[in-house]
Amino acid sequence: MAQIIDGKGISAEIRLKLHQEVIDFVSSGNPVPHLTAVIVGEDPASQTYVKNKILACKEVGISSETKLLPASTTQEELLQLIGQLNRDDCVSGVLVQLPVPDHINERTICNAVAPEKDVDGFNEINMGRLALDMDGFVPATPLGIKALLEHCNIATHGRNAVVVGRSKNVSLPLAILMHSDGKNATKALDATVTICHRYTPPKELAKHCRQADIIVVAVGKPGLITKDMIKPGACVIDVGINRIKDEKTGKHKLVGDVDFEEVRQVAGHISPVPGGVGPMTVTMLMHNTLQAAKKQAASRRV
């Protein structure tokens, strides 16, 4: 039976350390780090995720604000707000929760956040820096997955990894972080990485997965990864979040993309949903916000 990776517990440990770091930073005369989250529209999942981020800010001593904008907000209005937040010295980090409504261009919005406040790491500058092994903000979900692997002492150097999904916000930065050189600034994982996506035929997906020592799945399809696709002892990280109706109870529940009950019988490690990658995403956002505040304080001193 696989060891279950306790993302919630590991998050709590990291948050305790971050809290102490924030206390030390502030008691050396620096302003309290501040995160501003922007939500456009009324997506219920976005409300839950941002609520979790605001609660985490309280836990680690970061001040925060959520700007709730109506779905009718124009792209121009959103860009104006981002401009204001970029210029506001009291704001250390800015994030625009995705998705944004269809009439707003997601890329234009991500690129408008100042790179030094881009705690999501979605701006083209930070994505470019990650791709080039340079220091910058790394997106929170990939950073959280790396922290889980490290915390559980999962060997990655020279190992085979499969990333299922090719999204620009999760899978691509994760694949970069997994294959890049551990000796460079991003302290990456040195694995051999295969990326599978919607056009990977199911038989090929199964074949690639069976070769993998580490499988990370970020698709949004419950039950996509089954027991027969797993090399015995492999580490399986489930990023997917799906809200489904439980046939037995009739209630709604959260599941990932991995058939958890089956796969845990063969895997060496497995992360659950909920309580796996989700809390780590929130925790790594706290890490990035503190780093942003520290870098801004240092650049004001010179």
Residues near ligand L34 (CB under 6 A) are 48-49, 52, 95-98, 120, 140, 241, 254, 273-275, 278-279, 281-282
Q: Does 52 bind ligand NAD (CB under 6 A)?
A: no
Cα-Cα end-to-end distance for the chain: 55
Distance CA 202, CA 253 (A): 26
Task: Choose the binding region for ligand NAD from 127-135, 176-184, 214-222, 291-299 (rule: CB under 6 A).
Answer: 214-222
Among 2, 62, 100, 205, binds ligand NAD (CB under 6 A): 205
The binding track of 136-155 with respect to ligand NAD, each residue x by CB under 6 A or -, is: -----x--------------
Q: Which of 120, 213, 238, 257 is catalytic?
A: 120
Q: Is residue 167 exposed (0-12), middle (13-18) or buried (19+ Cβ within 10 Å)? A: middle
Distance CA 99, CA 71 (A): 11
Residues 6 or more apart whose CB falls under 8 angstroms from that of 165 comprise 171, 196, 197, 217, 218, 219, 239
| Least separation in angstroms between CB 89 and ligand NAD | 30
Is 97 one of the catalytic residues? yes
**Closer CB to ligand L34, 93 or 278, in the complex:** 278
160-164, strands of its sheet edge to edge:
3-4, 269-270, 235-238, 214-217, 160-164, 192-196
Residues at the site binding ligand NAD, with contacts judged by CB under 6 A = 141, 164-167, 169-171, 196-198, 200, 205, 218-221, 239-242, 277-278, 281
Residues annotated as part of the active site: 53, 97, 120
